[in-house]
């Protein structure tokens, strides 16, 4: 995204907003990397716990008593959903750690943009105009 760099990065967090003056795309990337590194150090982004398997396979459900089959299938569906969420969250944390380790500010900014819907993680770039003749 191109900005003319009369801009401010606004970081919306739980108790207050933070503002960072941006004079270039490099400054935006540097600020994004610093923010992501700070949050990583503060343990905002940790690997999730691996979901526990239900103790049976889906193939085993048909051999269960009929009264248990519906609940067993539902439990297995929940487990499969949790595994998908775990894989996705693990990949995201790995990407965050890699961006910080590699000092990749552009990727850090993209991660922050992708996470801006998460609670206390909203970021935005706001343009401003310089007042002439005042």
Asked if pLDDT for residue 50 goes beyond 70, the answer is yes
DSSP summary character for residue 117: T
Render 50-91 in DSSP notation, one character per residue: PPPP-SS-GGGGGGS-HHHHHHHHHHHHHHHHHHHHHHHHHH
Residue 40 predicted with pLDDT over 70: yes
Average pLDDT (115-131) is: 89
Share of residues in the chain with pLDDT > 70 (%): 95
pLDDT, average across residues 102-108: 98
d(CA 77, CA 67): 17
List the helix and strand counts (H, then E) for the chain.
3, 3
What number is the average pLDDT over the span 108-128? 93
Report domain extents, the chain: 7-127
Confidence at residue 130, expressed as pLDDT on a 0 to 100 scale: 75
Cα–Cα distance, 52 to 65 (Å, whole number): 23
Q: How confident is the model at residue 58 (pLDDT cuts 50, 70, 90)?
A: confident
């Amino acid at each position: 995204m191109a900005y003319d760099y009369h801009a401010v990065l606004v970081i919306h967090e739980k108790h207050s907003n933070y503002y960072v003056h941006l004079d270039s795309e490099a400054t935006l990337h540097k600020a994004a990397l610093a923010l992501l590194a700070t949050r990583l150090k503060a343990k905002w982004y940790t690997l999730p716990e691996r979901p526990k398997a239900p103790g049976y396979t889906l193939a085993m459900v048909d051999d269960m008593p009929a009264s248990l089959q519906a609940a067993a299938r539902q439990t297995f569906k929940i487990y499969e959903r949790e595994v998908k969420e775990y894989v996705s969250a693990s990949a995201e944390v790995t990407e965050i750690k890699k961006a910080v380790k590699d000092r990749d500010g552009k990727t850090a900014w993209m991660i922050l943009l992708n996470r801006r819907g998460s609670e206390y993680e909203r970021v935005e770039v706001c343009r401003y105009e310089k007042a002439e003749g005042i």
